Amino acid sequence: MAGLEDIDDLIGLCAGFGLQIRGAEVAGDVLQLVPVTLESLPGAAVLGEIAEALKPLGYRYVTLDISSDWEGQDA
Amino acid sequence: MHEVSEIPVSVREKMDAIVAEMAGMGRMVVAFSGGVDSSLVAALAYKALGEQALAVTAVSETLAGRELEEAREIAREIGIRHEFIKFSELDDPRFRENTSSRCFFCQSMRFEEIRKIAESVDCDVLASGTNQSDTGDHRPGLEAMKIQKVYQPLLRYEVTKEEVRQMARELGLSVWSKPAMACLSSRIPHGLEVTVERLRRIERGEEVLHGLGFVQYRVRDHDGLARLEIAVEELDRALAPGMLMQLVAGVKAAGFEAVCLDMKGFRSGSLNPVKKK
């Protein structure tokens, strides 16, 4: 399984698809991308493309962390 | 019943052949979950055998409460006699251990329990709703049914899932389009113990999604991290900020520590072992 040594590359790749993330976390097989905000996330089709683009990292599940930092946001 | 068939002739022929075969079998007990597959088999058995057919729902911790109620309703709709039998897969440590053979132990216990009811009514034919589309995935439960000599008419006549739905619709079954739900333990990755606590928080979490109007979804339990799988066609609705907040609040209240959203959406059997190429 590839590591996440270069988080900047990951942030850059996601930004290229229109997804702004501030980091990523790993829990077993699950890669969680941590979005900067839950507002204005890309649509389902683009998220699927990002997950596909991240396949070489070797994580079985590519996900969005939606619970760590949403409190206090004006959604 | 419709006057004019709207299903392909080949599908109707399969359905007629199954009914004809069942008619010569005497008494039959159908393992009945209330899903579309077992509902179809129950309806065909009732059509062929009338009061000689009995639907039995095995009730355990892995069956969501709402599924139980729906099973009761659909049996009433079909008209078939219906009984419940309680058991607990969690009594078997091999099931709790949650290896890739988990479904084998579960189905073995399930059919042993259903057989008890069958024997009490002098019946030796147990039927299930296994269909042709079930054979392409990792399904150790099928091996258990083979050992138990379970009659699988849909498999025997190579009825696919799509054909199951066509037949069910033709017979006027309200569940013809019901999404597959599967047992709640299928939401727990292999290697992580199946416990009552995990099963109940999964059930509560999925009730949240149901309550928010989602149709096809799973709450996968990665040891306290809920990974939500929602059908791709419903994912855009989930991504609205207000909806995300409701999902998180509800799923956390169900007992999860954290929540993430799978970016590929719902995939049936996504926790199954990966086939080696």
Q: Does B252 touch chain A (CB under 8 A)?
A: yes
Q: Does B90 touch chain A (CB under 8 A)?
A: no
Give residue A74's pLDDT: 43
ipTM of the complex: 0.91
Query: Across the interface, do A63 and B261 touch by the CB < 8 Å criterion?
Result: yes
Cβ atoms of B205 and B188 within 8 Å: the answer is no
Find the closest chain B residue to A50 by CA distance.
B263
Q: From B156, B152, B183, B125, select the one nearest B37 (Cα to Cα).
A: B152
Give the whole-angstrom CA distance, residue B23 versus residue B127: 13
Query: Across the interface, do B260 and A28 touch by the CB < 8 Å criterion?
Result: no
List the structure tokens of B177: 């389009």
Q: B31 vs B276, which has greater pLDDT?
A: B31
Total Cβ atoms within 10 A of residue A73: 12
List the structure tokens of B70: 């729906």
Query: Across the interface, do A39 and B264 touch by the CB < 8 Å criterion?
Result: no
Total Cβ atoms within 10 A of residue B225: 20
A26: phi then psi, degrees, rounded to nearest 5 = -125, 135
Give residue B5's pLDDT: 54
Residue B110 has pLDDT above 50, yes or no: yes
List the structure tokens of B10: 């080949």
Query: Across the interface, do A63 and B239 touch by the CB < 8 Å criterion?
Result: no
Cβ atoms of B125 and B27 within 8 Å: the answer is yes
Please identify which residue in the block is written with the tokens 């999404």.
B179
Element (H, E) at B262: strand B258-262
State mean pLDDT over B176-182: 89
Please identify which residue in the block is written with the tokens 């006057």.
B3
Per-residue CA distances from B61 to B17, B165, B201 (Å): 36, 27, 12
pLDDT tens per residue, range B112-149 = 999 999 999 999 899 999 999 988 777 888 888 888 89
State mean pLDDT over B242-266: 97
Find the closest chain A residue to B242 by CA distance.
A75
Give the whole-angstrom CA distance, residue A48 versus residue A10: 15
The DSSP-derived string for B91-133 is: G-HHHHTT-TTHHHHHHHHHHHHHHHHHHHTT---EE----GG
Q: Any idea of the CA torsion for B123, B69, B130, B148, to the nearest 10 degrees?
A: -40
Closest CA–CA distance from residue B236 to any residue of chain A (Å): 5
What residues in B contact A32, CB-CB < 8 Å? 260
List the structure tokens of B127: 């039927």
Q: From A42, A50, A29, select the one nearest B189 (Cα to Cα).
A: A29
Query: Across the interface, do A70 and B244 touch by the CB < 8 Å criterion?
Result: yes
Burial class (CB in 10 A: 0-12, 13-18, 19+), B163: buried
Q: Is the whole-model pTM more than 0.90?
A: no
Residue A70 has pLDDT above 80, yes or no: no
Nearest to A44 among B222, B236, B248 (CB): B236
Cβ atoms of B25 and B59 within 8 Å: the answer is no
B80: phi then psi, degrees, rounded to nearest 5 = -75, 145
pLDDT tens per residue, range A15-54 = 999 999 999 999 999 999 999 999 889 999 999 999 999 9
pLDDT tens per residue, range B188-231 = 999 999 999 999 999 999 999 999 999 999 999 999 999 999 99
Residue B82 gets which letter from DSSP?
E
pLDDT band at B1 (very low <50, low <70, confident <90, very high): very low
- Computed over every residue of chain B, the mean pLDDT equals 93
Cβ atoms of B121 and B54 within 8 Å: the answer is yes
Cβ atoms of A7 and A14 within 8 Å: the answer is no
Query: Across the interface, do A61 and B258 touch by the CB < 8 Å criterion?
Result: no
pLDDT band at B73 (very low <50, low <70, confident <90, very high): very high
Give residue B241's pLDDT: 83
Cβ atoms of B58 and B48 within 8 Å: the answer is no
What residues in B contact A68, CB-CB < 8 Å? 258
Position B66: which residue type?
R
Query: Across the interface, do B235 and A47 touch by the CB < 8 Å criterion?
Result: yes
All residues at 6 or more sequence positions from A9 whose CB lies less than 8 Å from its CB, including other chains: none
Count of alpha carbons within 13 Å of B36, Cβ hemisphere only?
Answer: 24
What residues in B contact A33, CB-CB < 8 Å? 263
